[in-house]
A and B are shown apart, each in its own frame.
Chain A
Amino acid sequence: MSAAANRKPFDAGRAAYLALNIVLLAFLLAPIAIVIVFALNPTPFISFPPVGVSLRWFEKFFASSDFMNALWLSLWVAACVLVLSVVIGGACALALARGNLPGRTFLTAFFMSPLMLPAILTGLALFQSYLLAGIGRPIWGLIMAHTLIAVPYVLRTTLAVLHNFDHRIEEAAAALGASPARVFFEVTLPLIQPGVFAGGVFAFIVSFDQFPVSLFLVVPKSETLPVVLYNYMKFDLDGAIAAASMVSILLALSVVLAMERLIGLKAYVKL
């Protein structure tokens, strides 16, 4: 058979599909490429095209105690939020998915409601509530606020896993003599793990990047990275902002890669 006969005919549909994917990828990745260019450009202002390559903005970012304190605080808050939202969101999802909970639909809507309210209003309302309660703006108040926003993500991903959950496996384990705790840790948890972990990744990233809620709840000298960046930008719009963005992107990427190593993203893709 000749080579010409082996050649596949031009498939317009496949070509259009590929082109659309390339456009979508470019749309998603172009901002990151621009951030990299700005972060490496040595000029004291954000400009294009770049005039050289320099790490001065990364040096400024890592040498600034304001930025570093904010970065560590954001990471610490996000870690706390991850744990809390996984515990609360996972427990809520299990309770809701059992099917015999009174007011199940209402409760699901209630737990999802923080996503329906503009986050800036949630922040303002919490700020006012904290002040009226006389507790000021403690760090745990900020963690609770972030958790409020993050729980729906864990709830949604865990409910998705539980949708096709076969309860007979749990019943079989119980019938074979396993205690409720053992059934949960050895049967239920491994099965819902992908949904819970995926929700946890979302919770971490949502908290780490959280701006509107934090805006009202941070206190002087304990400000999260997005708030510090916003205020910095009002006075100094230089490459340090781009360097900080790069660090944030790399951190988010690290979390996703760590989760991939721990549970494998493919497990989540199956949802």
Chain B
Amino acid sequence: MDVKKKKILNGYHVVFLVQNIMVGMGLLSMNNSLSPVGYSQWWFPILFGLIANITLIPMIWLALQYKDDDLFDIHEKLLGKFIGKTLNSFLILYSIVLFAAVIQNYLDLIQVAALPQRSITGHLILFIVLTVFIIKGGIKSLARFCIVTFFLTGWMVYFLRWGFVDGEIRHLLPLFNFTASEFWDATKKGFNTLVGYELIMFYFPYIRHPEKAFKHASIGIWITIFFYLAVGIVGVMYFTEWQLEHLLFPVLKLFQAVDLSFVERIDTFGITIWVFLILTTAGAYLWTAKKGIDSVRNKNSQYHIYVTAILTFIIINLPVSQAMRTTLYENTFYVSYGLILWPILLCLVHLVRRKVKR
């Protein structure tokens, strides 16, 4: 069966994997994180899309040189066993912390918005167990789940209609009303909405048509950008600059603008169905961590998933101050910027090594 084969991801799997891993908590607060540039923020998703697409090139190029290896193996091959394994251990830690960050950010929001009287422990356990279930089926299971997620959540873009109708289209201009430092600030904070597509370096060896992967990944990125652009435009039209700066989750406010006769507050519904998007993102990091442990220990084992899950549960329940936790999570996101740029360096190492060999 297809489980035994290694090349299991078709083109559409890649599209939806890239697309759904990117969309997560970031979208809910995107307008807020881009607020340093004020009303000019709406076209930033396009800029980010371009950056993502450009940074995708070295990733795919490097992966094409090592068709059967993921980033963990490439590290070991390029940098030697010792440095590679140390680096991989850091990557594992990074994935676990991100896994925890994604889950905790979401569940904290749920606690505020949907289940105010409950502690998060109960649904945290349920959530982690569910992620483990998904990941037990491997990357293909996650990819299939991504497809379902797309169709279950994608239609919510329709909810923006009310915000669009009530909004003020003149907010969209001028386009470049910001200083360089504001631009830098917004990019730094806002680009984390795009983080997730770099995981293609880890599931690349499973792709059936590696030479087409760049095309498929780009399609995935631009589908995401379409959603971001829609939210960006409607957000800018609907909110004032002050609101953009101070509302933590503007998308929820946009949902509240929805006026339906049979449902009053669509935001509760929206935020709970968001769990699918969080599950795909969290699942991807869990899978990466599992693969990392596999590669460091040179052994494939399902137990690595359970170990990772338990570790995450412990990290989330550590008695650490909220401020420290937030700093940790934020800095981990900055690490992922590093991870996005990292392949450029690896490409150079690869070229140098090839020259030396000759």
Q: State yes or no: do A and B come from one complex.
A: no
